[in-house]
Structures are given as C-alpha cells and as structure tokens.
Structure 1
C-alpha cells in the first residue's frame, strides 16, 4: 500500500511541529533553571 505524504505539506503541520518543539524547549529551559541550577548551587555548599 502506497502512502501519499503530500497531505502533510500544508503549513499547519509546520506550525504544529514548531509549536511542539518550542514547547519542549521551554520545558527544558525551565527544568534546568528551576531544578538543575539550584541543585548545583546547593551541592557546592
């Protein structure tokens, strides 16, 4: 069965993927800022 991927060429798919990547990047930055940095500060004390 051949899969037609041309239906995924719509700009809304690019927007959806960009939103997901942006969300994951923000979560990663917040995780580092709120958990990793304080852990490193208290570990050096």
Structure 2
C-alpha cells in the first residue's frame, strides 16, 4: 500500500517546494534588513 505523500515525491513537486521555501527565506531576510535593522539603529543611537 502506498502512502498519499508518495504522489508528491516527483522532482517537479520538490522543485516547487524548494522555490517557495527559498522565496520565503528571501522575504524574511529582506524584511529584516529593510525594517528591523534601521529600526534598531534609530532606536539605540
């Protein structure tokens, strides 16, 4: 018996998931650089 998850183990699904995860990480890093770093600089200086 196969698991329902096995149908998503194709290379295209792995590539799509990797794309979304890396895009999310880029958004988190850019948000931190553009908003949290300047806020910290102005807050503590």
TM-score interval, normalised by the smaller of the two chains: 0.7 to 0.9
Task: Show the 5 A alignment for 1:1-16.
Answer: 4-16=4-16
Unpaired segments ≥5 residues, structure 1: none
**Aligned alpha-carbon RMSD (Å):** 1.3
Unpaired segments ≥5 residues, structure 2: none
Aligned to 1:12, the other structure's residue is in SS state helix
Using the alignment, how far apart are the partners of 2:10 and 2:22 within structure 1?
19
TM-score normalised according to structure 1 size? 0.83
TM-score normalised according to structure 2 size? 0.83
Matched, 1:43 2:43: yes
